[in-house]
Amino acid sequence: MEQTTFALAAFTTLMGVCATLVAMPVGVAAAWVLARRSFPGKVVVETTLTLPLVLPPVATGFLLLQLFGLNSIVGRALDAIGLPIVFTWRAVVVAMAVMSFPLIVLTARAGLEQVDRRYEQVASTLGAGPWRVFRTITLPLAARSLVAAAILGFARALGEFGATIIIAGGIPGQTQTLSVAIFNLTEAGRDSDATRLLLVSAGLAFGAMILANLVQRERRPL
C-alpha cells in the first residue's frame, strides 16, 4: 500500500525531530569542549567530528552498517535487548543524527565562542560552579546560536538520503523518508509524483532555513 504524501512528510519530520533531539546534547557538549578546552590531539578530534560533512553519505552509511549490523558486537547487543537498529525507524534516526551532527557542532561552537568569557569568570567568582555557569550564563547567552544549530541540524536531517538508504533501506511505510521516496518514484518513472514530494521537501527545508536565519539575525539574547 502506498503512503500518502502527508504520512511521508509527517514521518520524515518526526524522524528529523528525533534525530535533532539525539544529536543536540552530544553536539553541544562536543562544541563546548572544542570552544572552551585545549588538549593534545584536539585537531584530530575536531576533524573526526566534522568528517561526516565531507565523507560521502553512502560511505558513512556503510560505516554505520558495520557498526550496528548483526555482524558487530554493538549490533548484536542492541538486537538482544530488543532494540535492533538496521532496517528499522531507529536506523533512520541514527543516519539523520550522524549526518546532522557536524553542522550542529560547527554552529554551536561558533555561538559558544562568541560568549564573552568574562561573564563566565565573574559568575564563578560569585560562587557558581562550572555546571551552574554553563546553565545560567553560557547557555542563555548562546541560545540563539544553539537554536539555529538545532534548526540547521533538523533541516540537514530532513534531506538525508545516502546514509539512510544503506542502513535503513527505505522500506515503504517503515523506513521510507521523503528523499528516499523521491528516489524510488524517479526510479519507477513516476515524475509527477516525485515532483509533488520534491515541492513538499523544498517547502520544509525553506521554512527551516528561514527560521534559522531569523533566529540568528537578532543580537539580543533570546
Partner 1 sequence: MIRLAFDVQLAQGSFTLDVADEAEVEVLGVYGPSGSGKTSLLEVIAGLRVPRSGAVSVGGEVLADTSSGIHLPPYRRHVGYVPQDGALFPHLDARRNVMYGSDTRLPTADSRLDPAHICATLDIAQLLDRRVGDLSGGERQRVAIARALVSSPRILLLDEPLTGIDRGRKDRILPYLLRIRRELHVPLVYVTHDARELVDIADRVLRLEDGRLADAGVPGVVLGQTVADERL
Supply the minimum distance, in Å, between the C-beta of residue 130 and partner 1. 8
Minimal distance, residue 111 CB to partner 1, in Å: 14
Residue 211 has which C-alpha cell? 527560521
In single-letter form, the type of residue at position 5 comes to T
Residues 82-141 that bind partner 1 (CB under 8 A): 116, 118-119, 121-129, 136-137, 140-141
Cβ within 8 Å of residue 151, ≥6 positions away = 208, 209, 211, 212, 215
Q: Does 38 bind partner 1 (CB under 8 A)?
A: no
* Beta carbon nearer to partner 1, 49 or 141: 141
41 binds partner 1 (CB under 8 A): no
Tell the smallest beta-carbon distance from residue 147 to partner 1 (Å).
14
What residue type is assigned to position 34 of the chain? L
116 versus 191: smaller Cβ distance to partner 1? 116
DSSP 29-44: HHHHHHHH---TTHHH
Distance CA 32, CA 113 (A): 8
Q: Nearer Cβ to partner 1, position 47 or 121?
A: 121
As a whole number of angstroms, the longest Cα–Cα distance in the chain is 66
- Binding site residues, partner 1, CB under 8 A: 116, 118-119, 121-129, 136-137, 140-141, 221
